[in-house]
Amino acid sequence: MLALLISIYNTVCVYSKVCVMANLIDFLQHQNLVWQGTENAPASRQVYETVSTGFGDLDKQLHGGLPKQGVVDIQSQVGIGELRLLLPYLRKQTRMCAVIHPPALLNAHALFHQGVDTGQFLVITPNSPQEALWAAEQCLKSGACGSVLLWHGDLEVHQVKRLQLAAQTGQGLICILRSGIKQSASLPVCLSLKLAPHELGLRVQVIKRQGGWAKPDFVLDMSTNWPELTAREKVPRSAQVVTIEQALQQVNR
């Protein structure tokens, strides 16, 4: 009788240890601390489905383009062409596009002239970053929005995970446009790009791409789409530096 009890006790002990081990691996994997060989799988085995960005070069560099659903992190300062990068993609969308907390008014007139259907745009101006994240999650989860553009500052890992889950539920894509960020920790996003200005368009650095190797920076040529907004070979025609002081002087004169 006693022997039986002891044997049962032993089994339970071993079992609980195995459980702890499994939990530990789960825990470490969860924290992105375990390196697995499968992560460097060949490009043919994509982790996510892709949609074209509308730029041939970019599609090639990103092995197909933007993820069909998920979170894309774009680090860029405002006004160098970060929205133009997404416009060809937005033009093809059939579902609504939510624009949350834009740094300035979205110009319907400009979108109209670039062939984007403005009727699908939903401009949301929340009062706080928390509300912005809440709105983004709701839009993604609903399935009514195919794409969400969110201007945001620093993000926490758990916030990105929530957005990722919401994007999976609604099968949508969220692009988080961030500028002047301090944090450097890796976020659990599908794709992370860093944009810098360049004469021909944009210098793109792929910081992270799920299931992909690190790659050198490349230049995205936008001169065919927006010839006026690329500083090409020509010298600025009327190079003139005007400061507010000069302007005031002119007024006083």
Partner 1 sequence: MALWLYLHFPQLQLDSLYHHDVEQQPTIIVTGRGHSVVQLNAEAHKAGIRAGMGLGAAAATCSSLCVHEYDEAQTKQRLVELAQWLYLNTAEIHLSGSCGLLLKVSGMLAMYRDVTEYWQTLQARLHAQNVHFHFSLGYSPLAAQLLAEAKLDIVCEDTKRLDYHLGRLPISALALPNKQLQGLMRVGVKSVRALFAIPMLELGKRFDTELVHYVGRLRGKLHHPVTFYQPPEVFERQLTLLYELENLDWLAKPLLKLLIQLEQFLKLRNKLTKSIKFTLLQRDCEALHLEIGSAEGEYRADKWQGLCLLVLERTQLAAPLQSIALSVTEFCEPDEISSDLFSERCGTMTAAGLLAVLQAKLGVQAVQGIEPRSDARPELATSLCAPLTSKTNSASQLKLEPMLRPNLLLPQILPLQQPVTLIQGPERICTGWWDGHEIERDYFIAQDESKRWLWVFRDRQQRWYLHGVFS
Residues in contact with partner 1 by CB under 8 A are 77-84, 87, 96, 102-119, 121-127, 131, 134-135, 138-139, 141-145, 169-172, 197, 226, 228-229, 231, 236-244, 247, 250-251
Q: For residues 237 and 155, give the distance between their C-alpha atoms in angstroms, rounded to a whole number.
A: 42
Supply the minimum distance, in Å, between the C-beta of residue 187 and partner 1.
23
The CA radius of gyration of the chain, in Å to the nearest whole number, is 24
**Complete DSSP assignment for 149-200:** EEE-S---HHHHHHHHHHHHHHT-EEEEEE-S---------SEEEEEEEETT
Residue with tokens 């459980």: 19
CB 204 within 8 A of CB 193: yes
CB 116 within 8 A of CB 88: no
Query: Could you give phi then psi for residue 224, rounded to 5 degrees?
Result: -75, -40
Residue among 13 and 247 whose Cβ is closer to partner 1: 247
Supply the minimum distance, in Å, between the C-beta of residue 40 and partner 1.
31
Supply the minimum distance, in Å, between the C-beta of residue 180 and partner 1.
11
Q: What is the DSSP letter of 126?
A: -
Supply the minimum distance, in Å, between the C-beta of residue 16 and partner 1.
39
Residue among 34 and 231 whose Cβ is closer to partner 1: 231
Supply the minimum distance, in Å, between the C-beta of residue 173 and partner 1.
13
Give the pair of three-digit tokens for residue 97: 């596009």
